[in-house]
C-alpha cells in the first residue's frame, strides 16, 4: 500500500523574504507548517546572517528546483575591513586583521577588478557543502578541517556602492556556488588588512527579485488557506525566461506518455517550456529539451492527482 502523505497537496513557488538569524531549513519548516503542505523545499541555502530572496518550491514545483539552484544570484553585502573572523562573517570568532585606515577607493576598485569574471574559490569550512555526508560547518564546529577543492565560479559584477571609514558596500551578480564571504575575505587579503561580511541580502535568485519577496509577517497575517495560496507563483514562473513551445492536445497526449514529439516552429536547440493549447488558454505541462533531430523530448512533467 502506498504511503499516504500528510498535509495539503499545495503546488507553486513562494518567494520568501528570509529574516536574519535562522537557517534556510528553518524557513522551509516554518512555511510548511503555515501552509499545512505535503512537500516543500528551498532552492539554495542562505546563511543565518543573510536576508532576502529565498524561493521555496511546493509540491510539483520541487521538480524544477534544480533549475533555480543552478541560476545566477544577486546580492548586497556590507564588508568590514581590518578584521578577520573564523567564518568570514560576523557570526565567527575574530582571529586577526590589521588597521584599514590606509585603504583608498582606488585600491578597493583595483582589488575588485581582480575578483571579476571566472575565478577560483575554495569553499569555507563553514559552508553547507558536504564531506562524507557531513556538512562542512558541522565539522568546523568540532575543530576538524578537511581539504577542499577550489571551484570555478563567475562574478559578473561586484560594484562598489559605498565606502565609509572601514566599511564598504557591494552589489554582486554571480553564478551559482559563489560565496560572498569568500569574496570579502579575498578582498581584505588583497587590501592587506583582512575583512569579513557584516551584512548580506540576496536581491535576486534566477527570475525572482527582491520586490516579489514576502515576509513571514505577511504570511502569518493570512486568515485561511485561500489567502496563503494566493501568494504562490505558478510552477512555470521558475522557468519563465525559457522559450515556449505550444502544441495541440493530440501532440501533448504523446508527449505526456514520455514520447518525443515534432512541433512546428519550435526552437532548434536547448531547453523549453511545454504548453498545451486548450481553447483560449495555455496549460503548462513541464519542460523539455530539443533533440538533435528537432523533436522535443519531455524532461520534467507536472502531474496533478
Q: What is the CB neighbour count within 10 angstroms for residue 101?
A: 10
The pairing of beta strand 151-164 with beta strand 167-174: antiparallel
Choosing from 17, 26, 47, 281, the catalytic residue is 47
Count CA atoms within 13 Å of residue 216 on its CB side.
16
From first CA to last CA, the distance across the chain in angstroms is 17
| Cell numbers standing for residue 182 | 569568500
Q: Quote the CA–CA distance of 53 and 206 in Å, as a whole number.
A: 10
Element (H or E) spanning 120, and its range? strand 117-121
Active site residue 47: yes
Indicate the DSSP class of residue 122: P
Q: Quote the CA–CA distance of 130 and 133 in Å, as a whole number.
A: 5
Q: Quote the CA–CA distance of 166 and 236 in Å, as a whole number.
A: 44
Could you give the 3-state DSSP secondary structure of residue 277? strand
- Cβ partners under 8 Å of residue 212, min gap 6: 15, 53, 233
Provide the CA 194 distance to its chain's centre, in angstroms: 27
- Cβ partners under 8 Å of residue 3, min gap 6: none
Where in the sequence numbering do the catalytic residues fall? 47
Amino acid at each position: 500500500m502506498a504511503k499516504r502523505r500528510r498535509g495539503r497537496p499545495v503546488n507553486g513557488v513562494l518567494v520568501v523574504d528570509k529574516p536574519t538569524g535562522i537557517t534556510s531549513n528553518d524557513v522551509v519548516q516554518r512555511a510548511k507548517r503555515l501552509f499545512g503542505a505535503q512537500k516543500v523545499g528551498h532552492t539554495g541555502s542562505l546563511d543565518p546572517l543573510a536576508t532576502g530572496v529565498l524561493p521555496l518550491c511546493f509540491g510539483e514545483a520541487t521538480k524544477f528546483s534544480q533549475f533555480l539552484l543552478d541560476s545566477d544570484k544577486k546580492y548586497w553585502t556590507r564588508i568590514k575591513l581590518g578584521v578577520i573572523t573564523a567564518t568570514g562573517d560576523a557570526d565567527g570568532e575574530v582571529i586577526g586583521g590589521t588597521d584599514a585606515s590606509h585603504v583608498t577607493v582606488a585600491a578597493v576598485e583595483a582589488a575588485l577588478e581582480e575578483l571579476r569574471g571566472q575565478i577560483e574559490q575554495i569553499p569555507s569550512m563553514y559552508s553547507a557543502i558536504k564531506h562524507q555526508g557531513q556538512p562542512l560547518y558541522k565539522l568546523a564546529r568540532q575543530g576538524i578541517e578537511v581539504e577542499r577543492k577550489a571551484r570555478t565560479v563567475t562574478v559578473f559584477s561586484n560594484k562598489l556602492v559605498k565606502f565609509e571609514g572601514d566599511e564598504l558596500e557591494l552589489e554582486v551578480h554571480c553564478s551559482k556556488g559563489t560565496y560572498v564571504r569568500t569574496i570579502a575575505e579575498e578582498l581584505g587579503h588583497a587590501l592587506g588588512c583582512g575583512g569579513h561580511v557584516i551584512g548580506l541580502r540576496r536581491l535576486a535568485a534566477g527570475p525572482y527579485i527582491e520586490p516579489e519577496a514576502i515576509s513571514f509577517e505577511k504570511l502569518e497575517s493570512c486568515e485561511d488557506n485561500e489567502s496563503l495560496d494566493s501568494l504562490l507563483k505558478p510552477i512555470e514562473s521558475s522557468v519563465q525566461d525559457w522559450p515556449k513551445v505550444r502544441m495541440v492536445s493530440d501532440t501533448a497526449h504523446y508527449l505526456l506518455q514520455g514520447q518525443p514529439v515534432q512541433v512546428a516552429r519550435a526552437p532548434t536547440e536547448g531547453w523549453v517550456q511545454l504548453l498545451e493549447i486548450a481553447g483560449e488558454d495555455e496549460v503548462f505541462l513541464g519542460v523539455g529539451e530539443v533533440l538533435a533531430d528537432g523533436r522535443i523530448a519531455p524532461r520534467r512533467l507536472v502531474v496533478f492527482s
